[in-house]
Chain A
Amino acid sequence: MSAHLLTELTVFILAVFVGFEVISKVPTTLHTPLMSATNAIHGIVLVGALLVAVVASPKLGPVLSVAVVFLASLNVFGGYVVTERMLSMFKPRETPTPRDGTKR
């Protein structure tokens, strides 16, 4: 095993622990936005998609290059917009003033 792989494995395992720690504090009421937020975060694979598709000698043909960037981009933008839309709806109990009709 290369030293490089070991470093990456270290980063991975520590991030898993951080993930568990952070996520276990999320209340059940926010579990759908949590799923959606993490869903958007794994859209980071767009970085990988760009690195294999948008280079001097793409490693996939033109159609597959466009497809991989499309899928990852769909994941990022769709994921964040859905999450934003969900989170904008969560409100605490307030005085029953008429709520502004902003919808996102």
Chain B
Amino acid sequence: MPAEAVSANQIAIDAAYLVTGICFILGLKFLSHPQTARNGNRISMLGMAVALVATGFLLDWSSAWWIVAIGGGGGALVGIYSARAVKMTAMPQMVALFNGAGGGAAAMVAAAEFLHLNPGGSALSWDQSLPIILSSVIGAISFTGSIIAFLKLQELITGRPLTYPGQQFVNGLIALAVVGGAALTIANVDTVPAYFVALGAAALLGILFVLPIGGADMPVIISLLNSFTGLAAAMTGFVLGNNVLIISGALVGASGTFLTMLMSKAMNRSIANVLFGAFGKVVAGAGGAVPGATGAIREATVDDVATMLAYAKQVIIVPGYGMAVAQAQHSVRELETQLEKRGVEVKYAIHPVAGRMPGHMNVLLAEANVPYTALYDMDDINPEFPRTDVALVIGANDVTNPAARTVASSPIYGMPILDVDKAHNVVVLKRSMKPGFAGIDNPLYELPNTVMLFGDAKASVDLLVSAVKAL
């Protein structure tokens, strides 16, 4: 807790924290362009280093150096190793895991302060206990929620929504326990037990609220959990009276909230619907009723498709999560190169919620050396489809479903989609006729201008590459 008589030492440290805050803001500002983004990250790193060095002057090294050595060193080693070793396709779960680590740390810091300020259950003022309880609860939800998100993305537990009867009721009861425990803590009634009830219930709630969320909704959840950890860190700043934590946490909270809203808007659903809708569980038979859908599916051969692509003027590639699963991004890039050699114009259409986190497709294609200037956002590319010869859909499903435009009964009705059906020809690479994440049929496949090429996305694209080469 800040003493009233501030030492010169403390002023220097606070000034260093200010530098850190400025570095973080500048770092984020530099992220507004791909060419400056890397410098932005380095400025942010510098800011972090400044804060850590400054904090070093407040620590008691003689008695507790080994905690830094084991905890800090261990965390750094594991963090750096796993961040380097992880495949680009596994990025969303990696981010989820680091996010959870931050949330857990924030909750533990708050718990430590609580036990310190309140050794024998003595009264805390509300402006001490409120930030403590917020930091603990939000951090705990973020910690366990992120771990479940990680397990789902890693497919250690099913990516499908897990639901059971009365789920919302049970979650409601647990949320009530969180609020009740928090209220009793702040009111200084049985403070210690009440605090731990709130903390435990929050941890449980984190698990239970992510379990019913399906894979395709992950972009929203990852953003939301990111925002939670930011808020938890900011609240920890209130607890410790530390401005750098408040500023950084607020920045992250704002960023996570911004992305969460953006993602739910891109799915035309409210955040509440994403959280409580158990979307993807609904197996509605809502197909048909799209003008022109024939009810029949045409399958094409690799050579048909290769010819179609090679003699096209413009091809738009529409990647989805299927491309990530098959790790087909390098093959896709190779196909692009082969087509461009033949004078075909190739563009990529990126739906905001394609994949499992915001911007997932962009980062995968960047890994495969696709220049970011070839990637187009939905609003920029949609007017192009009517003058495009071939739209090549690789492992994307719901984001191309024309039922979203016309079928009012469809669960995805109203969601903005990529207008692939307006291209002269549509080629869909798909493993099987299994419906997409939302569990609904895609009438796109029954349109007269659509052909299907079944198989693993990577294998199919590789075959296309050799077929185009052979032409």
A binding-site residues for B, Cβ under 8 Å:
1-2, 4-5, 8, 11-13, 15-20, 22-56, 58-60, 62, 64-94, 99, 104
Complex Cα spacing A32 to B324, Å: 14
Residue B331, interface by CB 8 Å? no
Residue B29, interface by CB 8 Å? yes
Residue of A nearest to B251 (CB): A19
Complex Cα spacing A9 to B32, Å: 28
The bracket for how many chain B residues form the interface is: 35 or more
Contact A40–B75 (Cβ < 8 Å):
no
Given contacts A16-B250, A91-B366, contact A32 B91 (CB under 8 A): yes
Complex Cα spacing A92 to B42, Å: 20
B binding-site residues for A, Cβ under 8 Å:
2, 20-21, 24-25, 27-29, 31-35, 37-38, 40-42, 44-45, 48, 51-52, 55-56, 58-61, 63-65, 67-68, 70-76, 78-80, 82-84, 86, 88, 91, 94-95, 97-99, 101-102, 104-106, 108-109, 111-113, 115-116, 127, 222-223, 226, 229-230, 232-234, 236-256, 258-259, 350, 352, 357-360, 362-363, 366-367, 369, 371-375, 377
Q: What number of residue pairs across chains A and B have CB atoms under 8 A from each other?
A: 391
Complex Cα spacing A26 to B352, Å: 14
* Among A48, A66, A99, contact of B106 (Cβ-Cβ < 8 Å): A48
Contact B108–A49 (Cβ < 8 Å):
yes
Complex Cα spacing A44 to B84, Å: 21
Contact A19–B80 (Cβ < 8 Å):
no
Contact B76–A44 (Cβ < 8 Å):
no
Contact A58–B372 (Cβ < 8 Å):
no
Contact A28–B243 (Cβ < 8 Å):
no
Given contacts A39-B95, A75-B105, A92-B34, contact A65 B226 (CB under 8 A): no
Residue of A nearest to B42 (CB): A84
* Among B94, B111, B230, B373, contact of A42 (Cβ-Cβ < 8 Å): B230
Contact A26–B112 (Cβ < 8 Å):
no
Min CB distance, B407 to chain A, in Å?
27
Contact A35–B32 (Cβ < 8 Å):
no
Given contacts A27-B33, A67-B108, contact A41 B245 (CB under 8 A): no
Known contacts A50-B68, A67-B71, A81-B79, then 20 further A-B pairs from the complex at CB < 8 Å, ordered by chain A residue: A23-B254, A25-B29, A28-B362, A30-B362, A32-B95, A35-B223, A38-B256, A45-B249, A48-B237, A48-B245, A50-B55, A52-B109, A53-B71, A53-B112, A69-B67, A75-B101, A80-B45, A85-B83, A90-B37, A94-B371
Q: Which chain B residues border A2 with CB–CB below 8 Å?
A: 127
Q: Which chain B residues border A94 with CB–CB below 8 Å?
A: 371
Complex Cα spacing A26 to B251, Å: 14
